[in-house]
């Protein structure tokens, strides 16, 4: 029977999501059609809470950090009352970006480089050259609406700043649901209970749709095939070391991808409402001096029982859909910024655990560099796979993408579901959320 997709006249805007997503399969247009991408910018990114950055990136009054939410350039900055604000990076006069892309200090107030309008760091208008020229005109400079526009909603969860372009919707804790525990554990692992961004940012522009990256975060079945060159090299390197050599950290985190499918099958995957989820941890840090010094610092601060409780929460990638993926045990957040239907920017931030030895931070950086940075031995394998998917989907070789593995076997849990490690449940769970966002109002 023909579907609306078979009708060339169908436009993305009136296409019902069930025409594109059928529970256990999805139409290729969700990855390749620029009209669908534009609709996602409005309906997914225009509604969800999106990760902006961490409070530690703007420690002092006037400090700013720019990023992009959906297609909107925004700036996160610290106001003189200590509060962190998120504003559209757009001057109300003629539209210039108020601050240049990147991060830095604006001083006590923001001053637009074009005609010198100035604003407080909460966006409110402070002064305008030739103010008298606006008297008795249609522009009321006393109207707070004429400052730099704020995002509709901004909220912080343990220092992680999120914003939403929608005035209405669930609170941030309700939105995060079951994955709030990953952000908790991210911070609880710090002896002082707080984290801070350190070590700059690494950026990768991927030649693929943003959803392909998200899907891979919990795709355990790809590891042994896609990463064969790196896990095999790591195993060979270790085999060449003298017998009894403790396995170096770099090898632990690379050769793990060579585990057989039975290993991944036993891991638990959790999927929560909103498309979020996490995968049980796959690495056990080696019992080397770096790990032992860290555990000692955590125990000194929290006591042995609480430290043990914190460290037992061992998770691999967490998905906070649709904007970021924290890795709690090696302190990094990957931020996903869709640029076009086939271009995605991923920014990788590494964090320092306050109160932990510096070697713990160096280890987190090592994890980022070895596994996820642009120069990693592992990430290029994934990038090649993502690009092949993007290019293959652009062909006439088929219309549907399979999400069928272990469909119908998900176990329900409060606010979501769980499955074994080789299930495609996380992909189905993300598309459930996607379809809810994409449905025309009243049809979710
Ligand atoms: S564009 Fe900003 S002051 Fe004119
Ligand atoms: Fe991978």
Instruction: Show Cβ contacts of residue 104 under 8 Å, excluding neighbours closer than 6 positions.
Output: 63, 64
- β strands within 268-368, DSSP E: 268-272, 277-280, 315-319, 324-327, 332-340, 343-353
Q: Which helix (H) or strand (E) holds 439?
A: none
> Could you tell me the distance, in angstroms and rounded to a whole number, from the CA of residue 335 to the centre of ligand 2?
16
Ligand 1, pocket-test mutation among 96, 119, 128, most atoms within 8 A of CB: 96
**Quick one: which ligand is closest to 91's CA?**
1
Tokens of 131: 């103010």
Please report the sign of the dihedral spanned by the C-alpha atoms of residue 189, residue 190, residue 196, residue 199. negative
**Quick one: which ligand is closest to 264's CA?**
2
Nearest CA to ligand 1 atom 4: 115
> Could you tell me the distance, in angstroms and rounded to a whole number, from the CA of residue 117 to the centre of ligand 1?
6
**How would you write 376-420 as a 3-class SS string?**
CCCHHHHHHHHHHHHHHHCCCCCCEEECCCCCCCCEEECCEEEEE
Question: Tens of pLDDT along the chain (444 residues)?
Answer: 444 444 443 565 666 777 899 999 999 999 999 999 999 999 999 999 999 999 999 999 999 999 999 999 999 999 999 999 999 999 999 999 999 999 999 999 999 999 999 999 999 999 999 999 999 999 998 888 889 999 999 999 999 999 999 999 999 999 999 999 999 999 999 999 999 999 899 999 999 999 999 999 999 999 999 999 999 999 999 999 999 999 999 999 999 999 999 999 999 999 999 999 999 998 877 789 999 999 999 999 999 999 999 999 999 999 999 999 999 999 999 999 999 999 999 999 999 999 999 999 999 999 999 999 888 989 999 999 999 999 999 999 999 999 999 999 999 999 999 999 999 999 999 999 999 999 987 665
Instruction: Check pocket membership of 93 for ligand 1, CB cut-off 6 A.
Output: yes
Tokens of 413: 């849990």
Domains of the chain: 50-158 (2.102.10.10), 171-438 (3.90.380.10)
The number of C-alpha atoms within 13 Å of 71 and in the hemisphere containing its C-beta is 9
Instruction: Check pocket membership of 91 for ligand 1, CB cut-off 6 A.
Output: yes
Instruction: Check pocket membership of 114 for ligand 1, CB cut-off 6 A.
Output: yes
Instruction: Check pocket membership of 94 for ligand 1, CB cut-off 6 A.
Output: yes
Instruction: Show Cβ contacts of residue 138 under 8 Å, excluding neighbours closer than 6 positions.
Output: none
Burial letters for 101-114: b for 16+ Cβ neighbours within 10 Å, e otherwise? eebeebeebbbbee
Closest alpha carbon to 90 in 77, 79, 74, 78: 74
Tokens of 105: 């200090």
> Could you tell me the distance, in angstroms and rounded to a whole number, from the CA of residue 208 to the centre of ligand 2?
15
């Amino acid at each position: 029977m023909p579907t609306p997709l078979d009708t060339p006249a169908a436009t993305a805007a009136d296409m019902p999501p069930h025409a594109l997503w059928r529970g256990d399969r999805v139409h290729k247009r969700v990855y390749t059609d620029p009209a669908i991408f534009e609709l996602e910018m409005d309906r997914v990114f225009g509604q969800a809470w999106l990760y902006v950055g961490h409070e530690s990136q703007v420690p002092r009054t006037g400090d700013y950090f720019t990023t992009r939410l959906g297609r909107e350039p925004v700036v996160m900055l610290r106001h003189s009352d200590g509060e962190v604000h998120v504003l559209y990076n757009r001057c109300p006069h003629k539209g210039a970006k108020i601050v240049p892309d990147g991060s830095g200090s604006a001083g006590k107030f923001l001053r637009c480089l074009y005609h010198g309008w100035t604003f407080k760091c909460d966006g409110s208008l402070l002064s305008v050259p030739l103010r008298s020229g606006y008297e008795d005109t249609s522009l009321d400079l006393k109207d707070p609406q004429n400052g730099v526009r704020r995002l509709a909603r901004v909220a912080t969860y343990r220092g992680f700043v999120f914003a939403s372009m929608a005035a209405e919707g669930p609170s941030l804790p309700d939105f995060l649901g079951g994955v709030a525990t990953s952000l908790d554990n991210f911070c609880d692992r710090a002896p002082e209970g707080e984290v801070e961004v350190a070590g700059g940012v690494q950026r990768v522009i991927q030649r693929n749709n943003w959803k392909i990256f998200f899907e891979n975060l919990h795709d355990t079945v790809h590891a042994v095939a896609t990463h064969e060159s790196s896990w095999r090299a790591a195993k060979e390197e270790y085999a060449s070391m003298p017998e009894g050599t403790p396995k170096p950290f770099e090898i632990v985190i690379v050769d793990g991808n060579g585990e057989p499918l039975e290993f991944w099958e036993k891991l638990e995957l959790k999927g929560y409402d909103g498309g979020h989820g996490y995968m049980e941890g796959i690495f056990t840090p080696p019992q080397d001096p770096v790990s032992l010094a860290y555990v000692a610092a955590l125990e000194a601060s929290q006591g042995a029982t609480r430290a043990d409780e914190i460290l037992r929460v061992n998770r691999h990638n967490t998905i906070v859909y649709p904007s970021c993926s924290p890795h709690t045990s090696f302190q990094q957040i990957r931020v996903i910024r869709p640029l076009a239907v086939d271009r995605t920017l991923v920014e990788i931030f590494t964090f320092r655990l306050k109160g932990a030895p510096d070697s713990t931070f160096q280890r987190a950086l090592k994890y980022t560099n070895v596994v996820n940075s642009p120069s990693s031995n592992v990430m290029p394998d994934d990038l090649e796979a993502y690009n092949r998917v993007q290019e293959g989907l652009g062909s006439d070789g088929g219309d549907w993408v399979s999400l069928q593995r272990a469909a119908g076997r998900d176990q329900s849990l409060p606010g979501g579901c769980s499955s074994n490690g080789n299930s495609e449940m996380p992909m189905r769970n993300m598309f459930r959320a996607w379809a809810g966002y994409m449905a025309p109002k009243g049809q979710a």
